[in-house]
Amino acid sequence: MATFIPPTLASETIFHLGSFEVRNTIITALMTMAVLTIVGLVLKRKKYALVPGGFQNLVEATIGGMFDFFVQVVGDEKKTRRFFPLVTTIFFFVLISNWMGLLPGFASIGIWEVHHGHEVLVPILRSTFADVNMTLALAAISVVACQFFGFAMLGMKGYGGKFFINPFKDPIGSFVGILELMSEVSKMISFTFRLFGNVFAGEVLLLVITFLVPYIAPMPFYGLEIFVGFIQALVFAFLTLVFLKIATTEHH
């Protein structure tokens, strides 16, 4: 009788490059970057047409629609142009990573190994953000970018003044500044576990349904995970954009 083995919270090591552990989530992340790079090179090599058609039309409509949406959120086209490359890259990286994790073989094809006296399957490929370390890294990029743009656009005094206020002149403002500083750390935590929780839960759900009722029953859940993958990418990118807007707005 087959035994169901749930996925582990931590990603698994597939091989080593010297002392560096190459984990299955890192392999998927590299595959995602390869897809984005190939699409970018294809677009660069294609001759630009004044009357777009086919693939160029799709790309222009997607990028143009996202830019217009971001302008409405930020309310400043100049700021949006500075934020757009980072936020759009985050969106497509999360989206493709999430959808790639739904391909056949992910989390189900691997190497059988013995751990603590039990034979377990070590999958060769897992969804990038089924590992909390990957979501933490992306969250750190988002939060650090907020600090960078804040200092770059408001200056040391303008941005730092949001957090560090003389308690003898304005005790309430000083307390609020400490809360604002704590909120920057909480952003990273919420970013990390929101994305990780959704992706990991989806991975477990699909494995359970496939184990219990294979072939037909999992299909609706794959459709649900496609939608959830898109929503998670949109939410992560949208929140990053909102936090960038807040970080670059002068404090009053």
Measured CA to CA in angstroms, residue 86 lies from 139, 144, 171, 240 at distances of: 13, 12, 36, 9
**Is the separation of the CB atoms in 248 and 214 below 8 Å?**
no
- What whole-number distance in Å separates Cα of residue 198 and Cα of residue 12? 19
Mean pLDDT of 43-56: 69
Q: Which pLDDT tens digit goes with each residue over 83-114?
A: 999 999 999 999 999 998 888 878 777 777 77
pLDDT of residue 1: 43
CB-count exposure of residue 185 (10 Å: 0-12, 13-18, 19+): exposed
Q: What is the pTM of this model?
A: 0.86
Rounded Cα–Cα distance for residues 32 and 95 (Å): 9
Q: 189-217 pLDDT, tens per residue? A: 888 888 888 888 888 787 777 777 777 77
